[in-house]
Structure 1
Amino acid sequence: MYNGWIDSVKHVSHFNQRIAVHSKNEDLLCKVFSSGLGLVAMRWFDGLGASSINSFKELTRVFGSHFVTCSKVPRPLDSLLSMTMQEGETLKTYSDRYWEMFNKINGNFDDMAISTFKVGLPVEHDLRKSLTRKLIRSVRQLIDRIDEYKRVVKDQQ
């Protein structure tokens, strides 16, 4: 249900996935769209003038522009550049924070992710040294290396 507080773009995307089988039937899409609206959004929908919307695409555009303040704007790539492991912070906390930010950035920036994660670690950190010695080619390899490092450190404790 769209309650006016969640990302309107995400809501439309989920709606499109649920009703994909009927995506060619514009009238049905427009009528069924209201079934996923909460009180605030339903009040908006009911306030639309008769015949004011000519297509489902127009309906979703008008919906998105009305609830634009609820849309989440992707973070810029340079958000990763400011990510550093804080003094006393665990690798788990740093990596969780890092991947949360990485997931808010649109686009494929695997090379930048690998580089900025490593640079964000303290120079003396063993994982940073390991990442410098042995080349990582993908984010999946980086995540695997981080997990492996966390296991080794945990086993040594």
Structure 2
Amino acid sequence: MTLHGFPGEVVCRTFPLTLRGLSRTWFGSLAPGSIENFKELAHLFLTHFRVSRRRRCPTAFLLTTKQREQENLKTYLARFNTERMTAEDQEENINLPALLGGVWPRSTFRAELAKRISMTLREFMDQADN
């Protein structure tokens, strides 16, 4: 919801409609009449929730994501994809090498991959699904 050019009173009254979960609970705990304007409300909100903000990891962090010894390929791919979504950038030139480098070294799938020519991450995921 975007409210550009509306008076502060309107913005303050519509703000709670955008909240869910803990942020809605936090807003409900504010004492009535304790906020003078939207700038103050925004400052309180950001101050309260800034520490819980998820930091995005550098793309190179994906190089540390490895398949665990007893982990099947499907579980590893799902975990890698989750880690990839928290990375700063979605760089194809790092994603695929990081994914391949993380496949368990003694895996027959890894040996099969070594025989193939280079591919994109999407092609790899399709091959792994098969």
2:27 is equivalent to residue 41 of structure 1? yes
Q: Who is 1:29 aligned against?
A: 11
User: Offset at 1:121?
Assistant: 1.3
User: Offset at 1:61?
Assistant: 5.5
- Identity across matched positions, percent: 20
Please show how residues 53-72 of structure 1 align to structure 2 within 5 Å: 53=39, 60=42, 62-72=44-54
Q: Who is 1:123 aligned against?
A: 105
**Match among 69, 79, 92 for residue 110 of structure 1:** 92
Q: TM-score, with normalisation over the residues of structure 1?
A: 0.63
CA pair 26-146 structure 1, distance change in 2 beyond 3 A? farther
Please show how residues 95-106 of structure 1 align to structure 2 within 5 Å: 95-106=77-88
* Aligned 8 A contact 1:34 1:45 in 2: no
Q: Who is 1:89 aligned against?
A: 71
Q: TM-score, with normalisation over the residues of structure 2?
A: 0.74
Describe the superposition over 1:80-131 as per-residue Cα deviations: whole angstroms up to 9, x where unpaired: 1111112222111211111111111121222211001111113343332343
Describe the superposition over 1:55-92 as per-residue Cα deviations: whole angstroms up to 9, x where unpaired: xxx85455223211221111232321111112222111
1:74 is aligned with what amino acid? R
CA distance in 1, matches of 2:117, 2:108: 12
2:112 is equivalent to residue 135 of structure 1? no
1:116 is aligned with what amino acid? A
CA distance in 1, matches of 2:86, 2:31: 30
Over 6 Å off, 4+ runs: none
2:37 is equivalent to residue 51 of structure 1? yes
1:33 is aligned with what amino acid? F
2:64 is equivalent to residue 78 of structure 1? no
Aligned residues: 123
SS of structure 2 residue aligned to 1:69: helix
Describe the superposition over 1:7-51 as per-residue Cα deviations: whole angstroms up to 9, x where unpaired: xxxxxxxxxxxx24xx33433333201233523223348565313
2:129 is equivalent to residue 147 of structure 1? yes
